Copies of this chain bind each other. A is one copy, B any other.
Amino acid sequence: MTLDPNTIRAAHKRICAHIHRTPVLTSTRLDEASGAHLFLKCENFQKVGAFKARGATNAVFSLDEATAKLGVATHSSGNHGAALARAAKLRSIPAHIVMPSNSTKVKVRAVESYGARIVFCEPTEAAREAACADVIAKTRATLIHSFENEDVMAGQGTAVVELLEEVDVDLVLCPVGGGGLLCGTAVAAKTMRPKIKVVAAEPANADDAAQSFRAGRLIRTEKKFTIADGLRTNVGALNFSIIQRYVDDIVTVSEEAIISAMRTIWETMKIVIEPSAAVPYAAIVENQSSLSSGSASKIDIRGRRVGIILTGGNVDLDALPWML
Protein backbone atom coordinates (compact mmCIF):
# COMPACT_ATOMS: atom_id res chain seq x y z
CA MET A 1 0.00 0.00 0.00
CA THR A 2 0.93 3.63 -0.11
CA LEU A 3 -0.29 6.29 2.28
CA ASP A 4 -2.70 8.42 0.27
CA PRO A 5 -6.23 9.83 0.50
CA ASN A 6 -7.71 6.58 -0.78
CA THR A 7 -6.04 4.36 1.79
CA ILE A 8 -6.98 6.78 4.55
CA ARG A 9 -10.62 6.90 3.37
CA ALA A 10 -10.62 3.10 3.17
CA ALA A 11 -9.18 2.95 6.68
CA HIS A 12 -11.99 5.15 7.96
CA LYS A 13 -14.61 2.92 6.39
CA ARG A 14 -12.87 -0.17 7.80
CA ILE A 15 -12.64 1.04 11.40
CA CYS A 16 -15.62 3.33 11.90
CA ALA A 17 -17.82 0.64 13.46
CA HIS A 18 -15.08 -0.12 16.01
CA ILE A 19 -14.08 3.36 17.14
CA HIS A 20 -15.77 6.47 18.47
CA ARG A 21 -16.40 9.43 16.23
CA THR A 22 -15.00 11.79 18.83
CA PRO A 23 -16.40 15.29 19.34
CA VAL A 24 -14.74 18.50 18.17
CA LEU A 25 -14.86 20.94 21.09
CA THR A 26 -14.36 24.69 21.16
CA SER A 27 -13.72 27.07 24.06
CA THR A 28 -14.50 30.77 24.21
CA ARG A 29 -11.82 31.22 26.85
CA LEU A 30 -9.08 29.47 24.89
CA ASP A 31 -10.07 31.41 21.76
CA GLU A 32 -9.79 34.68 23.69
CA ALA A 33 -6.47 33.66 25.19
CA SER A 34 -4.99 32.58 21.85
CA GLY A 35 -6.54 35.17 19.55
CA ALA A 36 -7.54 32.35 17.21
CA HIS A 37 -10.42 29.94 16.68
CA LEU A 38 -9.44 26.57 18.07
CA PHE A 39 -11.14 23.29 17.18
CA LEU A 40 -10.07 20.46 19.44
CA LYS A 41 -10.52 16.91 18.15
CA CYS A 42 -10.97 14.97 21.38
CA GLU A 43 -9.15 11.67 20.94
CA ASN A 44 -8.87 11.53 24.72
CA PHE A 45 -12.48 10.30 24.46
CA GLN A 46 -11.45 7.62 21.93
CA LYS A 47 -11.57 3.88 22.71
CA VAL A 48 -8.55 2.97 24.91
CA GLY A 49 -8.32 6.70 25.66
CA ALA A 50 -6.15 7.63 22.67
CA PHE A 51 -6.05 8.00 18.88
CA LYS A 52 -3.93 4.82 18.82
CA ALA A 53 -7.17 2.81 18.62
CA ARG A 54 -7.55 4.02 15.03
CA GLY A 55 -4.22 2.84 13.62
CA ALA A 56 -4.14 -0.47 15.46
CA THR A 57 -7.69 -1.31 14.40
CA ASN A 58 -6.97 -0.49 10.77
CA ALA A 59 -3.81 -2.60 10.78
CA VAL A 60 -5.52 -5.62 12.35
CA PHE A 61 -8.57 -5.48 10.06
CA SER A 62 -6.35 -5.01 6.98
CA LEU A 63 -4.74 -8.45 7.45
CA ASP A 64 -5.95 -11.32 5.28
CA GLU A 65 -7.69 -14.17 7.07
CA ALA A 66 -4.77 -16.63 7.07
CA THR A 67 -2.26 -14.07 8.32
CA ALA A 68 -4.65 -12.68 10.91
CA LYS A 69 -5.20 -16.13 12.42
CA LEU A 70 -1.54 -16.31 13.43
CA GLY A 71 -1.99 -13.23 15.55
CA VAL A 72 -0.29 -9.87 15.94
CA ALA A 73 2.61 -8.65 18.05
CA THR A 74 4.17 -5.36 19.08
CA HIS A 75 6.36 -3.75 21.67
CA SER A 76 4.84 -0.80 23.45
CA SER A 77 4.94 0.76 26.86
CA GLY A 78 1.96 2.95 26.11
CA ASN A 79 -1.36 3.32 24.37
CA HIS A 80 -0.49 1.34 21.21
CA GLY A 81 -0.19 -1.88 23.22
CA ALA A 82 -3.70 -1.53 24.62
CA ALA A 83 -5.02 -0.45 21.23
CA LEU A 84 -3.53 -3.49 19.48
CA ALA A 85 -4.78 -5.83 22.22
CA ARG A 86 -8.28 -4.40 21.80
CA ALA A 87 -8.22 -4.62 17.99
CA ALA A 88 -7.06 -8.25 18.14
CA LYS A 89 -9.84 -9.06 20.56
CA LEU A 90 -12.37 -7.49 18.19
CA ARG A 91 -11.10 -9.78 15.43
CA SER A 92 -10.76 -12.76 17.80
CA ILE A 93 -7.09 -13.31 17.07
CA PRO A 94 -4.12 -13.63 19.44
CA ALA A 95 -2.11 -10.56 20.45
CA HIS A 96 1.37 -10.62 22.00
CA ILE A 97 2.39 -7.36 23.64
CA VAL A 98 6.01 -6.90 24.70
CA MET A 99 6.15 -4.45 27.61
CA PRO A 100 9.06 -3.21 29.71
CA SER A 101 9.18 -4.78 33.16
CA ASN A 102 8.81 -1.35 34.77
CA SER A 103 5.49 -0.56 33.06
CA THR A 104 2.91 0.96 35.38
CA LYS A 105 0.22 -1.34 36.72
CA VAL A 106 -2.52 0.67 35.06
CA LYS A 107 -0.94 0.12 31.63
CA VAL A 108 -0.45 -3.60 32.24
CA ARG A 109 -4.04 -3.90 33.41
CA ALA A 110 -5.32 -2.11 30.30
CA VAL A 111 -3.57 -4.62 28.02
CA GLU A 112 -4.66 -7.57 30.16
CA SER A 113 -8.27 -6.39 30.12
CA TYR A 114 -8.40 -7.16 26.38
CA GLY A 115 -7.08 -10.68 26.88
CA ALA A 116 -3.69 -10.16 25.23
CA ARG A 117 -0.60 -12.13 26.18
CA ILE A 118 2.01 -9.90 27.78
CA VAL A 119 5.74 -10.60 27.42
CA PHE A 120 7.83 -8.59 29.85
CA CYS A 121 11.37 -7.50 28.96
CA GLU A 122 14.14 -5.27 30.25
CA PRO A 123 13.28 -1.59 29.83
CA THR A 124 15.62 -0.87 26.92
CA GLU A 125 14.87 -0.35 23.24
CA ALA A 126 17.18 -3.24 22.29
CA ALA A 127 15.55 -5.66 24.74
CA ARG A 128 12.08 -4.69 23.51
CA GLU A 129 12.96 -5.33 19.89
CA ALA A 130 14.71 -8.62 20.69
CA ALA A 131 11.78 -9.87 22.75
CA CYS A 132 9.36 -8.91 20.01
CA ALA A 133 11.45 -10.63 17.32
CA ASP A 134 11.56 -13.73 19.49
CA VAL A 135 7.77 -13.78 19.91
CA ILE A 136 7.30 -13.39 16.16
CA ALA A 137 9.78 -16.17 15.35
CA LYS A 138 7.93 -18.54 17.67
CA THR A 139 4.34 -17.64 16.80
CA ARG A 140 4.55 -16.32 13.21
CA ALA A 141 2.43 -13.39 14.43
CA THR A 142 2.53 -10.20 12.33
CA LEU A 143 4.45 -7.25 13.74
CA ILE A 144 2.27 -4.17 13.99
CA HIS A 145 4.76 -1.42 14.70
CA SER A 146 3.28 1.54 16.53
CA PHE A 147 4.29 4.09 13.85
CA GLU A 148 6.53 2.63 11.11
CA ASN A 149 3.58 0.94 9.44
CA GLU A 150 1.47 2.52 6.68
CA ASP A 151 -1.75 0.82 7.81
CA VAL A 152 -1.21 2.32 11.25
CA MET A 153 -0.48 5.75 9.74
CA ALA A 154 -3.60 5.55 7.54
CA GLY A 155 -5.68 4.73 10.61
CA GLN A 156 -4.27 7.64 12.60
CA GLY A 157 -5.07 9.93 9.67
CA THR A 158 -8.78 9.26 10.09
CA ALA A 159 -8.98 11.65 13.06
CA VAL A 160 -8.26 14.68 10.90
CA VAL A 161 -10.60 13.34 8.21
CA GLU A 162 -13.44 13.54 10.73
CA LEU A 163 -12.28 16.96 11.91
CA LEU A 164 -12.26 18.35 8.35
CA GLU A 165 -15.67 16.84 7.62
CA GLU A 166 -17.03 19.01 10.44
CA VAL A 167 -15.05 22.25 10.30
CA ASP A 168 -12.88 24.26 7.93
CA VAL A 169 -9.49 25.14 9.31
CA ASP A 170 -6.45 27.05 8.05
CA LEU A 171 -3.94 25.10 10.10
CA VAL A 172 -3.69 21.72 11.79
CA LEU A 173 -1.45 21.23 14.82
CA CYS A 174 -0.49 17.80 16.11
CA PRO A 175 2.26 16.38 18.30
CA VAL A 176 5.09 14.28 16.87
CA GLY A 177 6.80 11.33 18.55
CA GLY A 178 7.43 8.43 16.18
CA GLY A 179 5.43 10.22 13.50
CA GLY A 180 2.50 7.85 12.91
CA LEU A 181 -0.17 10.41 13.71
CA LEU A 182 1.70 13.23 12.00
CA CYS A 183 2.10 11.30 8.73
CA GLY A 184 -1.54 10.24 8.59
CA THR A 185 -2.69 13.73 9.54
CA ALA A 186 -0.44 15.55 7.07
CA VAL A 187 -1.27 13.33 4.10
CA ALA A 188 -5.00 13.45 4.82
CA ALA A 189 -5.12 17.21 5.45
CA LYS A 190 -2.87 18.23 2.56
CA THR A 191 -4.65 16.04 0.04
CA MET A 192 -8.18 16.89 1.21
CA ARG A 193 -7.47 20.65 1.49
CA PRO A 194 -4.17 21.59 -0.18
CA LYS A 195 -4.13 25.09 1.37
CA ILE A 196 -4.09 23.83 4.95
CA LYS A 197 -0.82 24.25 6.81
CA VAL A 198 0.26 21.26 8.90
CA VAL A 199 2.57 22.05 11.80
CA ALA A 200 3.89 19.52 14.31
CA ALA A 201 4.82 20.28 17.91
CA GLU A 202 7.50 18.41 19.84
CA PRO A 203 9.00 18.66 23.34
CA ALA A 204 12.32 20.55 23.20
CA ASN A 205 13.73 17.77 25.37
CA ALA A 206 13.05 15.19 22.63
CA ASP A 207 13.44 17.30 19.50
CA ASP A 208 14.88 14.79 17.04
CA ALA A 209 12.05 15.38 14.56
CA ALA A 210 12.53 19.17 14.64
CA GLN A 211 16.30 18.84 14.27
CA SER A 212 15.92 16.33 11.45
CA PHE A 213 13.39 18.57 9.71
CA ARG A 214 15.76 21.55 9.81
CA ALA A 215 18.79 19.49 8.74
CA GLY A 216 16.93 17.72 5.96
CA ARG A 217 18.22 14.34 7.17
CA LEU A 218 17.35 11.94 9.95
CA ILE A 219 19.16 12.90 13.15
CA ARG A 220 19.15 10.79 16.31
CA THR A 221 19.40 12.97 19.40
CA GLU A 222 20.24 12.16 22.97
CA LYS A 223 16.96 12.48 24.82
CA LYS A 224 16.47 14.36 28.03
CA PHE A 225 13.46 13.58 30.18
CA THR A 226 10.12 14.88 28.97
CA ILE A 227 6.82 14.70 30.83
CA ALA A 228 5.20 14.02 27.44
CA ASP A 229 5.88 10.29 27.68
CA GLY A 230 4.11 9.50 24.41
CA LEU A 231 6.65 11.62 22.50
CA ARG A 232 9.94 10.30 23.87
CA THR A 233 10.56 8.00 20.91
CA ASN A 234 12.64 8.88 17.84
CA VAL A 235 10.82 9.65 14.62
CA GLY A 236 10.76 6.66 12.23
CA ALA A 237 12.75 6.67 8.98
CA LEU A 238 9.68 5.86 6.90
CA ASN A 239 7.77 8.55 8.77
CA PHE A 240 10.48 11.14 8.26
CA SER A 241 10.41 10.80 4.47
CA ILE A 242 6.64 11.49 4.53
CA ILE A 243 7.06 14.36 6.98
CA GLN A 244 9.64 16.02 4.71
CA ARG A 245 7.16 15.97 1.88
CA TYR A 246 3.90 16.95 3.61
CA VAL A 247 4.64 18.88 6.83
CA ASP A 248 5.11 22.67 6.83
CA ASP A 249 6.98 23.09 10.09
CA ILE A 250 7.93 21.48 13.39
CA VAL A 251 8.10 23.67 16.50
CA THR A 252 9.40 22.77 19.94
CA VAL A 253 8.06 23.54 23.41
CA SER A 254 9.46 23.65 26.94
CA GLU A 255 8.45 21.30 29.73
CA GLU A 256 6.96 24.23 31.66
CA ALA A 257 4.76 25.14 28.71
CA ILE A 258 3.53 21.54 28.37
CA ILE A 259 2.52 21.32 32.03
CA SER A 260 0.90 24.74 32.00
CA ALA A 261 -1.03 23.99 28.79
CA MET A 262 -2.23 20.67 30.17
CA ARG A 263 -3.50 22.35 33.32
CA THR A 264 -5.17 25.17 31.38
CA ILE A 265 -7.08 22.68 29.24
CA TRP A 266 -8.20 20.68 32.30
CA GLU A 267 -9.34 23.83 34.09
CA THR A 268 -11.07 25.64 31.27
CA MET A 269 -12.45 22.74 29.24
CA LYS A 270 -13.03 20.26 32.09
CA ILE A 271 -11.46 17.42 30.14
CA VAL A 272 -8.65 15.06 31.09
CA ILE A 273 -5.77 15.02 28.61
CA GLU A 274 -2.33 13.47 28.93
CA PRO A 275 0.84 15.59 28.77
CA SER A 276 1.61 14.63 25.15
CA ALA A 277 -1.83 15.90 24.12
CA ALA A 278 -1.07 19.33 25.57
CA VAL A 279 2.00 19.88 23.37
CA PRO A 280 0.22 21.65 20.46
CA TYR A 281 -1.58 24.10 22.75
CA ALA A 282 1.72 24.65 24.58
CA ALA A 283 3.20 25.60 21.20
CA ILE A 284 0.45 28.19 20.70
CA VAL A 285 1.07 29.74 24.10
CA GLU A 286 4.87 29.79 23.77
CA ASN A 287 4.59 31.12 20.26
CA GLN A 288 2.42 33.99 21.53
CA SER A 289 5.00 35.01 24.09
CA SER A 290 7.69 34.96 21.42
CA LEU A 291 5.40 37.19 19.31
CA SER A 292 4.78 39.66 22.12
CA SER A 293 8.47 39.76 23.02
CA GLY A 294 9.19 40.85 19.47
CA SER A 295 11.22 37.80 18.50
CA ALA A 296 10.46 35.93 15.30
CA SER A 297 7.13 34.13 15.12
CA LYS A 298 7.14 30.46 14.33
CA ILE A 299 3.46 30.06 13.64
CA ASP A 300 1.12 32.98 13.18
CA ILE A 301 -2.34 31.90 14.26
CA ARG A 302 -3.94 35.29 14.96
CA GLY A 303 -7.52 35.26 13.71
CA ARG A 304 -7.00 31.88 12.04
CA ARG A 305 -8.96 28.67 12.40
CA VAL A 306 -6.76 26.04 14.00
CA GLY A 307 -7.50 22.33 14.30
CA ILE A 308 -5.74 20.54 17.15
CA ILE A 309 -5.58 16.78 17.67
CA LEU A 310 -5.91 16.16 21.42
CA THR A 311 -4.19 12.81 21.26
CA GLY A 312 -5.15 11.06 24.49
CA GLY A 313 -6.29 11.15 28.08
CA ASN A 314 -4.43 8.34 29.83
CA VAL A 315 -2.74 9.86 32.82
CA ASP A 316 -1.79 8.68 36.29
CA LEU A 317 -4.08 10.66 38.61
CA ASP A 318 -1.70 9.96 41.50
CA ALA A 319 1.21 11.68 39.75
CA LEU A 320 -0.04 14.78 37.98
CA PRO A 321 2.83 16.84 36.56
CA TRP A 322 2.02 20.00 38.54
CA MET A 323 2.33 17.99 41.74
CA LEU A 324 5.70 16.40 41.06
Contact B271 A270 (CB under 8 A): yes
Q: A273 — which chain B residues lie within 8 A by C-beta? A: 270
Q: A184 — which chain B residues lie within 8 A by C-beta? A: none
Contact A266 B272 (CB under 8 A): yes
Q: A49 — which chain B residues lie within 8 A by C-beta? A: 270
* Contacting residue for A270 out of B263, B267, B313, B322, CB 8 A: B313
Is A318 engaged at the interface, CB distance under 8 Å to the other chain? yes
Q: A272 — which chain B residues lie within 8 A by C-beta? A: 266-267, 270-272
Q: A44 — which chain B residues lie within 8 A by C-beta? A: 270
Contact B322 A320 (CB under 8 A): no
Residue among A44, A273, A313 with max Cβ neighbours from chain B (10 Å): A313
Q: A320 — which chain B residues lie within 8 A by C-beta? A: 317, 320
Contact B317 A267 (CB under 8 A): yes
Is A23 engaged at the interface, CB distance under 8 Å to the other chain? yes
Contact A318 B313 (CB under 8 A): no
A217 to chain B, nearest CB (A): 38
Once bound together, how far apart are the Cα atoms of A282 and B217, in whole Å? 55
Is A45 engaged at the interface, CB distance under 8 Å to the other chain? yes
- Per-residue 0/1 for A197-241: is the Cβ within 8 Å of any B Cβ (1 yes, 0 no)? 000000000000000000000000000000000000000000000
Is A323 engaged at the interface, CB distance under 8 Å to the other chain? yes
Once bound together, how far apart are the Cα atoms of A318 and B267, in whole Å? 11
**CB-based nearest B residue for A29:** B113
Contact B322 A317 (CB under 8 A): yes
A211 to chain B, nearest CB (A): 32
Once bound together, how far apart are the Cα atoms of A170 and B263, in whole Å? 37
**CB-based nearest B residue for A28:** B47
Residue among A271, A273, A320 with max Cβ neighbours from chain B (10 Å): A271
- Per-residue 0/1 for A261-303: is the Cβ within 8 Å of any B Cβ (1 yes, 0 no)? 0010011011111000000000000000000000000000000
- Residues A270 and B317 in contact in the complex (CB < 8 Å), given A23-B23, A323-B323: no
**CB-based nearest B residue for A268:** B49
A23 to chain B, nearest CB (A): 7
**CB-based nearest B residue for A42:** B270
* Contacting residue for A323 out of B269, B270, B271, B318, CB 8 A: B318
- Residues in A36-83 with C-beta less than 8 Å from chain B: 44-45, 49
Once bound together, how far apart are the Cα atoms of A317 and B322, in whole Å? 9
Sample (23) of A-B pairs whose CB atoms are under 8 Å apart: A23-B23, A44-B270, A45-B269, A45-B270, A49-B270, A263-B317, A266-B272, A266-B317, A267-B272, A267-B317, A270-B271, A270-B272, A270-B273, A270-B313, A271-B271, A271-B272, A272-B272, A317-B320, A317-B322, A318-B322, A318-B323, A320-B320, A323-B323
Q: Which residues of A contact B (CB under 8 A)?
A: 23, 44-45, 49, 263, 266-267, 269-273, 313, 317-318, 320, 322-323
